[in-house]
Every structure is written in C-alpha cells, then in structure tokens.
Amino acid sequence: MKTTRREFLKSVGMGTTALMAPNLFLNSCMKQDRPNIVFIMSDDHAERAISCYNDTLIHTPNIDRIASEGIRFQNSFVTNSICGPSRATLLTGKYSHLNGMLDHSCTFDGSQLTFPKLLQQAGYHTSIVGKWHLKTEPTGFDYWNILKGQGQYYNPDFTENGEKRTHIGYTTDIITDQALETLDKLDKSKPFCMLIHHKAPHRNWMPNLKHLDAYNDQDIPLPANFHDEYTGRIAAGEADMRIDDMYLTFDMKLHSQSIEEETGSGGKKSFAEKVTETWKRTYNRMTDEQKAGWDAHYDKVNEEFKRLKLTGDELLNWKYQHYLKDYLRCILSVDENVGRVLDYLDQNGLTENTLVVYTSDQGFYLGEHGWYDKRFMYEESLSMPLVMRYPLEIQAGQVADSMVMNLDFSSTFLDFAGIAIPAEMQGHSLRGIVRGNTPDDWRESIYYHYYEHPHGWHDVRRHYGVRTERYKLIHFYEEDGFWELFDLEQDPSEMNNVYSDPAYAKIVQETKQELVRLQKLYGDVDIDKS
Ligand code: CA
C-alpha cells in the first residue's frame, strides 16, 4: 500500500513542525511529494451565489464538491475590494500600499517578489490562464495565456506567452480548454502550480448560450434591504452603483431600438455617452451562429421590455430579475468548468496530491443595499468565497471560522511547497488551519483599505477600516471625513451606523485602537487624506 508523506513522517516520529525544518532528508523527501497547486479564481463571485454557502439562489455542485472533500472558510476577506488590487495582493502577499497596485489607475510592477517566482525557482512549473488585468506582462510564469484587459465573454482575445490570438467560443469554456491542454503537456514528474482565472461572472454578465434560459420561470426575491435609503451612511448614499441606474443597453443587453433613451448612469459618467456603441460592438463580436442562439432568448426580452413599458419600482424589479438571472447563468458555466478541472485531476491520478483552491477576487452585491458591484468594506464585497481540497492533508468536510485573507495565499502556497516564507510577505500560511491546528495567536481582526476615488468608477469614497468578529469600524477619510461603526451581531446587514451612539463609545475607542495597531503592523501609516 502506498504510504503518504504524512503517514511516513508520522512513522518516523516527525510532526507538522518538522515539515518546515531545513533538513536534507526532508528536502529529498519533499521533492517527490510536494503538492501540485490548482488555484481557480473567478471574478466578482459572491458567496451568496455558491450553494455550499447559501443554497437559496443557485446549485453549484462542483464548487461544493471541493468544500465537501476539503474545507470551507466562512470568514475569508479581501484587503481592497477591486479586481487588479486583489490580484496584486494575491501574487505578492502584500497590501496595496506596498505592492503599488492601489487602484486601476496603477500599473503592476512585475519585478516584485511573488509566490509564482519562488515556486518556479524551487522547480515548480508555473502557469496562468485567463484574466490577469494588471497591465504589465506576467512574470514568474513558465506559461501564460491571458485575456486582453477585462476580457470578453465571447470570442476572447488572448496573449499567449507574448503572442496575440483570438479564440472562437465562450470564454469560461475556453479558459478551461487552454488550462487542461497545458496540463496535458506537462512533465508530471515535476510539481506544477496553475492559476485558472475566470472573467466570469464580471459585468456585463453574458451567459453561455446553453444557459440563457435557466431561471426563466423563476422570480428571484429581493434582498430585505434592497430599498435602502442609506440613512447615517453618507458614502453609501453618494455611490453610483444602484441597480436602478444600470444601463438598459450594456447591462440589460437591450438593443438601442428597443428603448426610447439610455437612462442609466452605470457608474461612470464618461462611459454613459458611448455605452450604446459599446454594447453594439460587444454584441457584434459574436459569430452569426452565436447571435442566432443569443437572439432566440434575447429577442423575447427586447419584445417584453417594449410591450410592458415599465416605470418606477416595476422597472427596478425587472432590472433586478434580469441582472440576477444573467449573473447566475454565468456562474453555471464557472461551476461546470470547475467540474471539468476536478474530473481531469481524477482521470489523471492527480487528485490526491493536488491542492485545489476555489475563490473569487472579491465578493459582490446581488441587490443588497440596492446595489451591484463591490468596493465598500461592507460584508457582501469584503467577503471572498474560499474552499480548498488536498486529500493528503485536509480532512474532508471541515468548516473554518478563522479570519483569513487574500493576503494569506502566497504564504500558504509556499508553505505547502516547503519553501521558506519571505519576511516581506504580510500574510500567514493557512496550512495549520486546514490541518485542524489553528495557531493560538491567529489574527482576530482584519484591516481593509480602498482607494479608487475620486477617479474611476462608481463614486465610492476612499476608506480604511477594521473588522473584528463582532464589530466593523470604517473611516471615510477624504476631506471632511466621517466614521461608521456596525455591530454585526445586532445588525448583520449593516444598516445602522452606531458610531455616534453613546452606548458604543467604548467600542469606538477599542476599535480605533485596533485600527491604529493594524495600520502600524502593516506599515500603512502615511495616508494622503486630501
Ligand atoms: Ca473582481
């Protein structure tokens, strides 16, 4: 019978800590046994749209399978809830103020230390397929095949190791095709680390043709705080990310001839003037055959919109239904492609020795507070889904409550690969947690900092904050700044800012002290508040 590394180490009297020791015997042992890493990340996938987190909206059997055969994290958070910055933190293990990727006006400096570079130096084959969105070319990868910018849902443009190529088909499928073809060609005697990064379910939520009619007959209930009036929350009231303001063309995917005028603001004023043209170009990327499949569903939607002439709350509910259904349809493709990867690992004898991770670069609003999009430190966009499987070390069916972050991925992968974690990386390895041994001194609070204002999309003010198990303190610090405090136990949907409530004076003081402690710990002390 094959002896696993864990069993073998146990038989010679070596526990978990010994795995980290610089030891020639161990090094030779680990060279054969280091796990492969398959890191699947989607874009803007909210926990509420994964059935192992919440089974009211969608069934995602393949993502659920990773959780049931491994571990699900209930308190997983992002440092800065926006695409590029989340990816930079993933690679570097550092907060945005140190890796330089504060927001989308920045360009990622690829000369920095990243975990793929260290894995590559240690003999791993490293690769990334799919969304990159960091402007500069990937570094530290033996193979890279990335979408141009945000990427397109249909017939995407890729750059493969520097060479441009357009593929015909649906992007979520194509990313997986490319990933599996690459895996197939690898020398499997060497460990590999592959990042599979989906574009979906990012705006503007274009489903695969085969899923266009899913949810047609359902009416999706509105979240309880859908009609939020933002009392006591100034920045929330200012933000331009309401479903109410979605574009009828680009977001709702109506043809310009079906509407009287484009009434959306959609998050960026300069975009409003050209949105109809952008949607036309997006639609026209499709082949005639794809258009025929698309029109078979969407012609009816266009006709319905013209016929109903909805206004007010009826129009808002109509938009919500169409937004949510297209979002969920995109996730059906993500989930089935996660299944294809798991099947590939099964069929090639790789399941046992591969660490599989599924996450999203951040969460998303599915109508909570009346919103779509992310950016705020409120729970829906602060939370990242996170499930992991590695049969050799992770006992099946675990649920973890520890507070973990995207800051921790780099340290975790290096730890699993037996590589020393550089002191400059600010996260911590999750290896102890997934083995059921959460370190006694594990963090009890997390620090957050968002920057994309006043430029950029959606008018969300800059803010930083701290979240403890029960409380969240946020400082919107630009100009005449203001504070918010939420008691997550009493008010889990963060509707009631209790910052000025005398009953919470002591909590305000304590959480402010914790905020200052974390800012010093992470070196985020020189903040421009102009
Ligand atoms: Ca994103």
Please write the tens of the pLDDT for every residue from 274-296.
999 999 999 999 999 999 999 99
Ligand 1 centroid vs 311 CA: distance in angstroms?
Answer: 31
Ligand 1 centroid vs 188 CA: distance in angstroms?
Answer: 32
Ligand 1 centroid vs 506 CA: distance in angstroms?
Answer: 36
Q: Prior bond to 454 cis, omega within 30?
A: yes
The mean pLDDT of the chain is 93
Asked if the model's pLDDT at residue 14 lies above 50, the reply is no
pLDDT band at 530; cut points 50, 70, 90: confident
> Topology of 34-204+327-441 in CATH?
Alkaline Phosphatase, subunit A (3.40.720)
Catalogue the E-assigned strands of 35-162: 36-42, 71-73, 76-77, 125-130, 143-147, 157-160
Ligand 1 centroid vs 45 CA: distance in angstroms?
Answer: 8
State residue 222 phi and psi, 5-degree precision.
Answer: -75, 145
Q: Is 67 exposed, middle or buried (0-12, 13-18, 19+ CB in 10 A)?
A: buried
Ligand 1 centroid vs 198 CA: distance in angstroms?
Answer: 10
Distances (CA, A) of 319 to 247, 265, 284, 296: 9, 14, 23, 20
- Alpha carbon distance 509, 42 (integer Å): 38
The pair of three-digit structure tokens given for residue 367, joined into one six-digit string: 């109508």
Please write the tens of the pLDDT for every residue from 294-328.
999 999 999 999 999 999 999 999 999 999 999 99
The pair of three-digit structure tokens given for residue 34, joined into one six-digit string: 């280091």
Ligand 1 centroid vs 103 CA: distance in angstroms?
Answer: 12
Q: Taking residues 209-217, what's their average pLDDT?
A: 97
Ligand 1 centroid vs 437 CA: distance in angstroms?
Answer: 31
The secondary element (H helix, E strand) that includes residue 521 is helix 505-521
Q: Taking residues 398-410, what's their average pLDDT?
A: 98
Domain 462-522 has CATH 3.30.1120: yes
Ligand 1 centroid vs 86 CA: distance in angstroms?
Answer: 8
Q: What are the domain boundaries of the chain?
A: 1-32, 34-204+327-441, 462-522
Asked if the model's pLDDT at residue 507 lies above 60, the reply is yes
Ligand 1 centroid vs 207 CA: distance in angstroms?
Answer: 17
Residues 258 and 305: beta-carbon distance below 8 Å? yes
- Alpha carbon distance 518, 77 (integer Å): 15
Ligand 1 centroid vs 201 CA: distance in angstroms?
Answer: 9
- Alpha carbon distance 108, 530 (integer Å): 24
Ligand 1 centroid vs 375 CA: distance in angstroms?
Answer: 9
Ligand 1 centroid vs 441 CA: distance in angstroms?
Answer: 31
Catalogue the E-assigned strands of 101-198: 125-130, 143-147, 157-160, 163-166, 192-197
Please write the tens of the pLDDT for every residue from 228-286.
999 999 999 999 999 999 999 999 999 999 999 898 888 988 888 899 999 999 999 99
The torsion defined by the Cα of 386, 392, 395 and 400, in degrees rounded to 10, comes to -30
Asked if the model's pLDDT at residue 393 lies above 80, the reply is yes
Asked if the model's pLDDT at residue 185 lies above 50, the reply is yes
Q: Taking residues 359-382, what's their average pLDDT?
A: 98
Please write the tens of the pLDDT for every residue from 412-436.
999 999 999 999 999 999 999 999 9
The secondary element (H helix, E strand) that includes residue 466 is strand 463-468
- Alpha carbon distance 84, 107 (integer Å): 9
Ligand 1 centroid vs 295 CA: distance in angstroms?
Answer: 28
DSSP assignment of 326-390, as one string? HHHHHHHHHHHHHHHHHHHHHHTT-STTEEEEEEESS---SSGGGB-S--SSSHHHHB--EEEE-
Ligand 1 centroid vs 209 CA: distance in angstroms?
Answer: 23
The candidate with the shortest Cα–Cα distance to 230, out of 241, 238, 222, 219, is 238
Asked if the model's pLDDT at residue 401 lies above 60, the reply is yes
Residues 79 and 95: beta-carbon distance below 8 Å? yes
Cα 146 vs. chain centroid, distance in angstroms? 17
* Full 3-state SS string of 46-69: CHHHCCCCCCCCCCCHHHHHHHHC
Indicate the pairing of strand 386-389 with strand 71-73: antiparallel
Ligand 1 centroid vs 509 CA: distance in angstroms?
Answer: 33
Residues 515 and 475: beta-carbon distance below 8 Å? yes
| Exposure on the CB side of residue 306, measured as CA atoms within 13 A | 12
The secondary element (H helix, E strand) that includes residue 467 is strand 463-468
Coil, strand or helix at 314:
helix
Ligand 1 centroid vs 347 CA: distance in angstroms?
Answer: 31
Q: What pLDDT score does 112 carry?
A: 98
- Alpha carbon distance 467, 469 (integer Å): 7
